[in-house]
Amino acid sequence: MSPQSSKPGGSPPVDVFVGLLFVSVAALIAGITFLALKLNEYGWQMSP
């Protein structure tokens, strides 16, 4: 049974775990970007 404050068609509330998910995805993207920039200093190129 759902809590009384929940709406039948509403989306779930954003909590701290969703925020941490976005922080971790942003950290992954930043890490991959910085890795690619560092590897470019050594003449590394991405293959198509």
Question: Which contiguous run of DSSP H or E holds residue 44?
Answer: none
Per-residue confidence band for 12, with pLDDT thresholds at 50, 70 and 90 = confident
pTM of the entire predicted model: 0.64
**With 90 as the cut, is the pLDDT of residue 44 above it?**
no
* Mean pLDDT, residues 30-47: 89
The one-letter amino acid code at 20 reads L
Phi, psi torsion values for 27, nearest 5 degrees: -65, -40
Q: What is the pLDDT of residue 13?
A: 81
Q: Could you give the maximum distance between any two Cα atoms of the chain, in Å? A: 60
Q: Are the C-beta atoms of 31 and 21 separated by less than 8 Å?
A: no
Q: Where are the alpha helices (DSSP H) in 2-45?
A: 16-40
Domain residue spans of the chain: 15-43
